[in-house]
Amino acid sequence: MAGVADPVCFAISLIFEGNPQFTPEALEQGRIVDHLISIIDSSSTKQAIFNQIESVRVIVNELQDEQLHILFDRGQILTISKHLGNEEPSTRYKASEKIERIIQSGISDINDGDQNPFRKQMEEDGTIQKIIGKFKSDKSINKMVNFNIALTIALLFKAFPLPPKYSSIVVNLKINCRDLDENLCSKALSALACLAQCE
């Protein structure tokens, strides 16, 4: 399957990158995004599916926040989260990046002190526990995967008490606040600010 899908996925990435006008059609039920997610969902964590994940990531980066909410409502976080444990490092990284981007869209239109509307559902279906499990248990994952997971959890717990068992998330964000990469530092500070909104 990967042998056939890889060139198609590469072409999809080339078409959609920098072309947000194409995304509404790709997002329609039964279209490109659904087919890519179906391939990802049916793949094991032992399969190299970088091109499939990369195609979805490119499309996700071109979507508006309200379009990302549609992806969340279709359960795509749960589907993608299993690949945080993929044997291929680049697949783990792209999966973590896509998850963080969708979760970030949940706080785009809410006020300070308001909670992320995605958190409750992700707690109920066990997705948060699966994501945090990859942060805590897998020491072989690279710094950016851990950072994306830390961002995801912090954004989910915006203005809501972060359980003490997740304290390693705060430690990771504080370390990244001192990073020389301004983008990482800025994201870490924003995530900590979300956590600080809890009364």
Question: pTM here?
Answer: 0.90
**Tokens found for residue 84:** 């945080």
> Which pLDDT belongs to residue 49?
85
Least Cα distance to 134 among 195, 78, 83 occurs for 83
- Cα angle, residue 197 at apex, residues 157 and 153 outer, rounded to 5°: 20
Say how many C-beta atoms besides its own lie within 10 A of residue 24's C-beta: 12
Least Cα distance to 144 among 176, 170, 104, 189 occurs for 176
> Which pLDDT belongs to residue 199?
64
| Exposure letters 86-102 (e unless 16+ CB within 10 A, then b) | bebeebbbbbbbbbbbb
2-196: what fold? Answer: Leucine-rich Repeat Variant (1.25.10)
> Which pLDDT belongs to residue 180?
87
> Which pLDDT belongs to residue 140?
57
Q: Which residues contact 49 (CB under 8 A, 6 or more apart)?
A: 2, 39, 40, 43, 83, 86, 88, 91
What is the residue-level pLDDT of the chain in tens, covering all 199 positions?
Answer: 445 567 888 888 889 999 899 888 888 877 888 888 888 888 888 887 888 888 988 999 999 999 999 999 999 999 999 999 898 889 999 999 999 999 999 999 999 999 999 999 999 999 999 999 998 655 556 889 999 999 999 999 999 999 999 999 999 999 999 988 999 999 999 999 999 998 6
**Residue 113 contacts residue 197 (beta carbons within 8 Å):** yes
Domain ranges of the chain: 2-196
